[in-house]
Amino acid sequence: MLLTIIMPLYNEEATAPLIIKQILELPLELELIVIDNGSVDATGEVIRPFDKRSNVRIITKKENRGKGDAIKTGVALATGKYTIIQDGDLEYDPQDIVGMVDIAEKEQALAVFGSRRLNPQSGISYQRYLWGGKFLTFLANLLYPVHITDESTCYKMIRTDIMKAMNLEASRFEFCPEVVAKLGRNRIKIFETPIRYRPRKFEEGKKIRWIDGIEAIWTLLKYRFVPFSKLAIEKDQKASEQSHE
């Protein structure tokens, strides 16, 4: 299996079927792991028909313990060579994943991020999120040798064995800074490629809040100074381990 796509869902009845269909139309060998994360709307009902597909697995959680908790559930089940997270809304275009896989295969990359900042046509939801994202990117580059342009992008594709070896601790939205920090501490090079982005508003279901930004800052700081264990990386990937110097 080439790719595992993990999709955490919470109250996404309007968009989940659309984004799942887009994913299943991708010209890639993939498996889709959907985690219905304690939804209280009709999300579980509208996604149930997809469970008949051989490459789709739906996990239903009775209680929402956060996006990070759902992602950890998906990572434990992932069997693809690479793993990427896909939100259940329509902000990100799954077609961009194809180019990310191409880069990973060509460069033997351990990590490929889709950057909204590298695409001048990408939309902006709220100015405070734009500047908050820029600050998190600045802080990540200051604390770690990652040299990235979009710390908070959803599209973080990582080789699955590396993702599993990270022993993720995040329960909520701090998944993103935790991954960036652990890649940085291990000096794993992050490749980037421009992606499309169509942000939605709060009234359309946007869930991230200002407190999540504070938590992201704390997460980046925490993993910079706590002891860590170096990730085990296969010897044939040494060229991809080198960070930008």
Contact assessment for residue 58 and residue 50, using Cβ atoms and an 8 Å cutoff: yes
Predicted local distance difference test score (pLDDT) of residue 244: 42
Q: For the chain, how many helices (H) and strands (E)?
A: 9, 7
Domain range list for the chain: 3-231
If one counts every other C-beta atom within 10 angstroms of the C-beta of residue 21, the result is 11
Distance CA 17, CA 170 (A): 27
pLDDT in tens, 18-41: 999 999 999 999 999 999 999 999
- What's the whole-number mean pLDDT along residues 218-242? 72
Residue 128 has pLDDT above 90, yes or no: no
Q: Which of 112, 175, 98 is nearest to 146 (CA)?
A: 112
Q: What is the DSSP string of 212-233?
A: HHHHHHHHHHHHHHS--PPPP-
Measured N-to-C along each axis, helices 175-185 and 67-77 cross at an angle, to the nearest 10 degrees, of 60
How many other C-beta atoms are found inside a 10 Å radius of the C-beta of residue 97? 25
Predicted TM-score of the model (pTM): 0.90
Poorest-confidence range of 82-86, 119-123, 146-150, 226-230?
A: 226-230
Residue 210: predicted pLDDT: 60
Q: What is the mean pLDDT of residues 69-75?
A: 98
CATH code of the domain made up of 3-231? 3.90.550.10
**Neighbouring residues of 20: CB distance < 8 A, sequence distance ≥ 6:** 7, 32, 34, 47, 50, 56
Three-state DSSP at 195 gives coil
Q: Which two tokens stand for residue 65?
A: 């313990």
